[in-house]
Amino acid sequence: MEKITTGFHWNELAPGRQYRTKGRTVTETDLVNFIGLSGLTEELFINAAEREDGSAIKGRVVPGALVYTFAEGLLASTMEGTGLAFLHMDLDVKAPTFVGDTLHVEVEVIESRPTSRGGNGLVRTRNQVKNQNGDTVVVYTPLRMMRGSNRSGAR
């Protein structure tokens, strides 16, 4: 019996293909929970009064690691049942993200090729995390191993 998935297969992701995720707003609860789980108790993230009085950047700043985690969560459905391994990543934080920002991910496939065996493939994408104003806050380029499909044609 065939398993129904919502994720892309590697051979459906040709270089140049682009897509965008839904959005997600960062809340104060998200920030507090992430700091508690990660141990990122940097003053930058936990002392709101210090941020307002002594910093050029005003507002509740969100760790880049949380922004990346949100991006991967927004992308999860595109790999559901087809993602096999996360192999490598380069990541750049381009601008601060704040509590209250709404993030989405714009994805461009930059490489897609078969592995040497097994019908699987390697896919590298350029993922731009953008806020509600269209500002790019994080850019990362993951390389993933993904299942192939015997079906012809893209979605």
Query: What is the pLDDT, as a whole number, of residue 57?
Result: 77
CB distance 127 to 75 below 8 Å: yes
Query: What is the pLDDT, as a whole number, of residue 154?
Result: 44
Query: What is the pLDDT, as a whole number, of residue 82?
Result: 93
The pLDDT profile of the chain, 155 residues, written as one tens digit per residue, is 555 557 999 999 999 999 999 999 999 999 999 999 999 988 888 887 776 666 777 788 999 999 999 999 999 999 999 999 999 999 999 999 999 999 999 999 999 999 998 889 999 999 999 999 999 999 999 999 999 987 554 44
Helix/strand/coil (H, E, C) string of 89-128? EEEEECCCEECCCEEEEEEEEEEEEECCCCCCEEEEEEEE
Query: What is the pLDDT, as a whole number, of residue 4?
Result: 56
The two three-digit tokens of residue 23, written as one number: 């959005």
Q: At what angle do helices 64-75 and 28-38 cross, to 10 degrees?
A: 110
Q: Which fold has domain 10-146?
A: Thiol Ester Dehydrase; Chain A (3.10.129)
Query: What is the pLDDT, as a whole number, of residue 153?
Result: 47
pTM assigned to the model: 0.89
List all residues 6 or more positions away from 34 whose beta carbon is below 8 Å from its beta carbon: 40, 63, 65, 66, 69
Query: What is the pLDDT, as a whole number, of residue 56?
Result: 76
